[in-house]
Amino acid sequence: MTYPLMLNEQYFLVTGASGGIGQAVCRALVATGATVFMGGRNEQILELLATELGDNAIPFCYDVTNQEEVKAAFQHIQQHVGQLSGLVNCAGIMVDAGLAMTRMTDVDALLDVNVKSTFLHCQLASRLMARQKRGNIINLCSVVGEKGSVGQSAYAMSKAAITGLTRALSKELGPVGIRVNGVAPGFIDTQMTAHYDDSKKAALMDTISLGRLGQPDDVADAIVALLSDQLRYVTGQILHVDGGMQV
Amino acid sequence: MSNQQKLTEAFSQGLGIESKQVTDALTYNTIPEWDSTAHMILIAELENQFNIMLDTDDIIDMSSVAKAKEILSKHDISFDA
């Protein structure tokens, strides 16, 4: 897709940048002229992506659940750039297991990666944005968190928390000029859903009005639109990017 | 610019008040300009002025100009008496 340079000379941090949706977001942002700090744990993928995208893509290898590493990442941005136009919280994990089959260690991991790391990134990013009285935060929610799904109660819980966080922060940070929105992808064709068997994929396909699986680019394009000034009066919204999926 | 001037500038810009209002006795929530929203902007101004990153506990504890000096001193930032 060709993008106008609507985010030219703006700086963004994308977490989960080595994942399917995260990579697509980085590509889309760089295509708009933005500079992207690509946060993720897989250094090899981040380096490859940086090579592909050029100087405006900066690999940032750190663990989003490690508070000191997160703080160091923001300190780097503060000292080298001094500002942040936007944060896209893509980092996330999924656990597919029924209620009786879900270990508490899995619940802890979901809350650490999906919820607590998102909260911490919002907290630190908002401080960088507050000085400009302008900024933009996008959190990755999920249709599962919005509507529920059998066998994904823990994952749904973690994503519903992100929806609540997004709505609350939109109210708290609005007066400082920071917009906070969520994007709720449906069934997106990424590594996270690669383990679904054919029968599960077929069953999910039957629920999608547009009749095809979502692609990471579908989500990335929606995120770029929300980050742009064209949607400058939109905050506190959870945009479903799910092809009309009914879970 | 001295550290005292940087501090005064950060409070003045962060809270949108006159420099002369920035005294050690100035305390959180005692003037309408220093509310929770302004506190966030104040923290951003202090971090920018002194090129530091404050801990959340320090942000919560920063209840006055005098307390701000005490907290900043942990980052080797001193203020002449």
Q: Flag whether pLDDT at A5 surpasses 70.
A: no
Domain membership flag for residue B68: yes
Residues of A with catalytic roles = 155
pLDDT at B58: 95
pLDDT digits (tens, 9 = 90+) for A129-151: 998 899 999 999 999 999 999 99
Confidence of residue A1 (pLDDT cuts 50, 70, 90): low
Domain membership flag for residue B48: yes
Domain count, chain B: 1
Task: Give the closest of A79, A82, A127 to B43, CB-based.
Answer: A127
Of A5-14, A54-63, A90-99, the poorest mean pLDDT is in A5-14
Give the residue carrying structure tokens 């420099």. Answer: B19
What average pLDDT score do residues B23-35 get?
Answer: 94
Give the 3-state secondary structure of chain A: CCCCCCCCCCEEEEECCCCHHHHHHHHHHHHCCCEEEEEECCHHHHHHHHHHHCCCEEEEECCCCCHHHHHHHHHHHHHHCCCCCEEEECCCCCCCECHHHCCHHHHHHHHHHHHHHHHHHHHHHHHHHHCCCCEEEEEECCHHHHHCCCCEHHHHHHHHHHHHHHHHHHHHHHHHCEEEEEEEECCECCHHHCCCCHHHHHHHHCCECCCCCECHHHHHHHHHHHHCHHHCCCCCCEEEECCCECC
Domain membership flag for residue B43: yes
Residue A74 in contact with partner chain B when CB distance is under 8 A: yes
What average pLDDT score do residues A188-210 get?
Answer: 84
Share of chain A above pLDDT 90, in %: 83
Is A130 in contact with B43 (Cβ distance < 8 A)? Answer: yes
pLDDT at B75: 94
Mean pLDDT of chain A: 94
Q: Flag whether pLDDT at A192 surpasses 80.
A: no
pLDDT at A2: 63
Q: How close B10 gets to chain A, by Cα (Å)?
A: 10
Residue A83 in contact with partner chain B when CB distance is under 8 A: no
Domain membership flag for residue B80: no
Token couple for A83? 């500002």
What CATH number does residue B28 fall under? 1.10.1200.10
Residues of chain B positioned with their CB less than 8 A from the CB of A79: 51
Task: Give the closest of A123, A126, A131 to B48, CB-based.
Answer: A131
Task: Give the contacts of A102 (CB within 8 A, at least 6 positions apart).
Answer: A95, A153, A154
pLDDT at A198: 83
Domains of chain A: 11-238 (3.40.50.720)
Domain membership flag for residue B66: yes
Is A175 in contact with B37 (Cβ distance < 8 A)? Answer: yes
Q: How many CB pairs under 8 A join A and B?
A: 29
Share of chain A above pLDDT 70, in %: 98
Q: Nearest residue of B to residue A171 by CA position?
A: B37
Residue-number span of the structural domain to which B32 is assigned: 3-73
Q: How close A156 gets to chain B, by Cα (Å)?
A: 29
Best residue in B9, B11, B47, B51 for a mutation probing chain A (most A CBs within 10 Å): B47
pLDDT at A202: 85
